[in-house]
Amino acid sequence: MEKIQLHDKFFVPYISNNELESIIDEVADRINRDFEDKGIVPIFLCVLNGALMFTAAIMKRVHFDAELVSIKMSSYAGTSSTGTVLIPLGLTGPVAGRHVIIFEDIVDTGNTIVALKELLFSKGAADVRICTMLSKPEVYHKPDKLDYVGKEIPNRFIVGYGLDYNELGRNLDGIYIIEQ
Ligand code: IMP
Ligand code: MG
């Protein structure tokens, strides 16, 4: 991995694809333990676009029946949160009476998952859990518990493995952090 440029900014290697794969293995193991042999068919809810790769990676590792629903949400412009959560594409399937696991690339302020949980319960979801590849605990002050967290990182801007800087960088197979 080496330093890269996206638009006007430079990013340096932070989490290799190897490390990401083992983080994802651990998260998938925990989800398998919680849902295997429970007789529940949960809905995996992919929060587009960022969680596309993470959701796919987890799905390949689970050993029980699960369905996939997506939603597109956005709250970032450039390298910071706008505080407003937009939903350019609503839920692609029904969730009434279902156990839903939200898959996020990263939980930052938590505005996105709080808005999403509200939406899911308003549509009749029976239970909602949150699974995120990464989290920034320094800026997360919501009461909602993060059920599955791959790795905690400092409050700095990152790209890769689904995460973008103004739409670039999603295709990188590792995580890169903004150069100070
Ligand atoms: P929150 O609503 O503040 O928790 O922000 C969550 C969303 O913001 C994530 O789903 C990402 O799309 C985006 N986001 C947060 N931190 C970063 C980052 O460091 N790089 C790229 N996108 C980020
Ligand atoms: Mg996102």
Q: Rounded to the nearest whole angstrom, what is the distance from the C-alpha of residue 101 to the centroid of ligand 2?
A: 15
Q: Per-residue pLDDT tens for 119-138?
A: 999 999 999 999 999 999 99
SS3 44: strand
Domain positions in the chain: 22-155
The response to whether residue 108 sits with its C-beta less than 6 Å from ligand 1 reads: yes
Q: Which residues are catalytic?
A: 108
pLDDT at 1: 85
**Rounded Cα distance, 144 and 47, in Å:** 17
The response to whether residue 75 sits with its C-beta less than 6 Å from ligand 1 reads: yes
Angle of the 52-59 helix axis to the 17-35 helix axis, nearest 10: 60
pTM above 0.85, yes or no: yes
Ligand nearest to the CA of 163: 1
Ligand nearest to the CA of 115: 1
Beta pairing partners, 127: 99
Q: What angle do CA 142, 103, 161 make, to 5 degrees?
A: 110
Contacts of residues 114-123 at CB distance under 8 Å and 24 or more positions apart, as own/partner, are: 114/142, 114/144, 115/73, 115/85, 115/87, 116/45, 116/47, 116/71, 116/73, 117/144, 119/87, 119/91, 120/45, 120/95, 123/91, 123/94, 123/95, 123/96
For residue 97, what are the contacts with CB-CB under 8 A and spacing of at least 6? 124, 125, 126
Asked if 175 contacts 156 with a C-beta cutoff of 8 angstroms, the reply is no
Q: Which two tokens stand for residue 13?
A: 């290697």
Residues of the chain with pLDDT under 70: none
Neighbours of 89 (CB within 10 A): 12
What's the CATH number for 22-155?
3.40.50.2020
For residue 74, the ligand 1 atom closest to its alpha carbon is 12
Do β-strands 175-178 and 158-159 pair in parallel, antiparallel, or remain unpaired?
antiparallel
130, 163, 168: which to mutate for ligand 1, most atoms within 8 A of CB? 163
